[in-house]
Amino acid sequence: MRLERLRLKDFRNHEQTDVSFPPGIIVLTGPNGAGKSNLLEAIHYLSYLRSFRAGQDREVVRFGTPFAAVEAKLLDDAGRPFEARLVLKGGQRYVRLNGSDVTKFQDFIGRLASQFFYPGELALLTGDPGLRREVLDLELLRLKPALAPVYKQYHSALLQRNKTLKLIHPAPGQRRRDSGLDKALAAFTQQLVSAGTQIMRERRGLVGVVDGHFSPLYESLAPPGGEKVSLRYLSSVELSPDDQVAAHYAQRLAAAADKESTLRYTTVGPHRDDLGFILNDSYDLRRYGSQGQMRSAVLAFRLALCELSRLRLSDDPILLLDDALSEMDDERKKRLLKLCRSRSQVFISSASQREVELIAPLASAVYSVEQGQVRLVKG
């Protein structure tokens, strides 16, 4: 995937920006607050239809203007051009792909593939497990679109089952005798188990594949020390042997019946699972890792997802690195840059002149960003 041209209108501090980009490594330089991150954020927005920063859609619209627009001309790795456009207006998002309106955002997300890293990204590791499940599911649905109805089935079964639990147990610990409701619960449980088993097995398979790319990437990016970090799918259900997963899941649900009579919601299944970053095969990196190790892990994870997409979908995502090098020593900076050179297109933002000098020889273009103005410096 390659971004050839980007146009921004009233997107944060970019009043009017129109800039073309070559493939390869692209450096964005400029003082803090100049609009480097905003430009990366715009690309991310078009890719995921939301920001990597917290906050509301309307904050993105430049103060005092009616709407913000992001327009991009892209080239996929097979050389096919396409155009995507996003307008943010009054808290609403309007998306067009090749000139036609997109109504189902789910079909659009992932079309413009990108992976990103910025200092706040540690939240992926330290934050809510929901963030990690979301990343896995997004990737899984890109690789296997046929899973979409399975997710729909699971989500529906989960909500219906939780509602049924609340009807059977009007208050914690109370129980209503109603054979109709009991059978309804059994039906939703079956539906949950059948869809949930597929999701857990697919996720575990995906994590295994990503881990194959992740471990070597982590090794080359991590601070020296020789620790090993690996990815593991942490499930509330035993996932082996493969043909027993559904049976294990059903057993776990049956065993949780007591707990469910008090909590009145479903406590076992893919909606409770997590992606673990495991240090030296036994410790949770989130608890025992240093800042540096965690940063390297998230960066390696993002790079691993790029590699997976390149190999499986012949689509190398655009890599957005926002101030990603600042806390690395020179040796690791060089290694990261070397990894970046083999990617289709990488945007690196940096406020440090010294860093820029280090990257510039490898970069295909350098742009300076000042007060929302983008200017080609070299390339």
List contacts with another protein (CB under 8 A).
144-146, 148-149, 152-153, 155-157, 159-160, 163-164, 167, 180-181, 183-184, 186-188, 190-191
**Closest distance to another protein from the beta carbon of 85 (Å):** 24
**Closest distance to another protein from the beta carbon of 318 (Å):** 24
**Closest distance to another protein from the beta carbon of 309 (Å):** 17
**Closest distance to another protein from the beta carbon of 164 (Å):** 5
**Closest distance to another protein from the beta carbon of 162 (Å):** 9
Q: Which is nearer to another protein, 163 or 334 (CB)?
A: 163
**Closest distance to another protein from the beta carbon of 109 (Å):** 16
**Closest distance to another protein from the beta carbon of 213 (Å):** 24
Q: Which is nearer to another protein, 178 or 242 (CB)?
A: 178
Q: Which is nearer to another protein, 159 or 311 (CB)?
A: 159
Map the chain to HEC letters.
CEEEEEEEEEECCEEEEEEECCCEEEEEECCCCCCHHHHHHHHHHHHHCCCCCCCCHHHHECCCCCEEEEEEEEECCCCCEEEEEEEEECCEEEEEECCEEECCHHHHCCCCCEEEECHHHHHHHHCCHHHHHHHHHHHHHHHCHHHHHHHHHHHHHHHHHHHHHHHHCCCCCCCCCCHHHHHHHHHHHHHHHHHHHHHHHHHHHHHHHHHHHHHHHHHHHCCCCCCCEEEEEECCCCCCCHHHHHHHHHHHHHHCHHHHHHHCCCCCCHHHCEEEEEECCCEEHHHHCCHHHHHHHHHHHHHHHHHHHHHHHCCCCEEEEECCCCCCCHHHHHHHHHHHHCCCEEEEEECCHHHHHHHHHHCCEEEEEECCEEEEEEC
Q: Which is nearer to another protein, 148 or 255 (CB)?
A: 148
Which residues have a Cβ under 8 Å from the Cβ of 117 and sit 6 or more positions away?
298, 299, 302, 319, 320, 321, 322, 324
Q: Which is nearer to another protein, 21 or 188 (CB)?
A: 188
Q: Which is nearer to another protein, 110 or 372 (CB)?
A: 110
Which residues have a Cβ under 8 Å from the Cβ of 305 and sit 6 or more positions away?
115, 135, 139, 210, 317
**Closest distance to another protein from the beta carbon of 155 (Å):** 8
Q: Which is nearer to another protein, 182 or 238 (CB)?
A: 182
Q: Which is nearer to another protein, 116 or 249 (CB)?
A: 249
